[in-house]
């Protein structure tokens, strides 16, 4: 198990962590297996999404803002981030990717993204676990 720590600079956004995960997979020496990518925190998620065009990532954020708007949830009375918890729950905290011939089995257009829903944050911790 290894961890990745990144900072986020906006309240909501997708942050590409593929290269960091690839580096961990490469250094593991595992030829065939699984890599699980899990974000710690109740207001963030992990998503596999298109990497070529940033508009897809913006569409994800805009879509979630439309279906889960800010400021109308019971939890908002606690700390104003009820929508962040709902978005994170919908996306989920992890993704599992096969390792094939020592590399992640992502297609040409797939990358791994940290989904921030309650930023900016100085530290988001992502746990990367490789299973043989």
Q: What is the pLDDT of residue 57?
A: 95
In a domain, 61, yes or no: yes
* Residue-number span of the structural domain to which 124 is assigned: 12-131
In a domain, 20, yes or no: yes
Percent over 90 (pLDDT), the chain: 95
Q: At residue 49, does pLDDT exceed 90? A: yes
In a domain, 88, yes or no: yes
Q: At residue 102, does pLDDT exceed 90? A: yes
CA distances to 12, 71, 90 from 63, in Å: 12, 16, 12
Region 32-60: what's the mean pLDDT?
96
Number of domains comprising the chain: 1
Region 8-26: what's the mean pLDDT?
98
In a domain, 126, yes or no: yes
Nearest to 4 by CA among 51, 14, 18: 18
What does the longest C-alpha to C-alpha distance in the chain come to? 50
In a domain, 4, yes or no: no
Percent over 70 (pLDDT), the chain: 100
CA distances to 31, 48, 69, 72 from 1, in Å: 16, 20, 36, 38
By the 8 A CB rule, do 34 and 28 touch?
A: no
- Domain harbouring 83, CATH code: 2.60.120.460
Q: At residue 76, does pLDDT exceed 90? A: no
């Amino acid at each position: 198990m290894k961890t990745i720590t990144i900072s986020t600079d906006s309240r909501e956004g997708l942050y590409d962590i593929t290269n960091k995960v690839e580096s961990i997979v490469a250094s593991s020496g595992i030829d065939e297996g699984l890599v699980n990518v899990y974000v710690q925190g109740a207001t963030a998620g992990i998503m596999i999404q298109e990497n070529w065009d940033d508009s897809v990532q913006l569409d994800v954020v805009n879509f979630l803002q439309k279906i889960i708007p800010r400021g109308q949830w019971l939890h908002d009375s606690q700390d104003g981030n009820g929508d962040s918890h709902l978005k994170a729950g919908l996306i989920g905290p992890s993704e599992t990717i096969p390792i094939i011939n020592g590399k992640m089995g992502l297609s040409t257009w797939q990358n791994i993204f940290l989904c921030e829903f309650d930023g900016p944050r100085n530290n988001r911790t992502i746990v990367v676990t490789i299973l043989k």
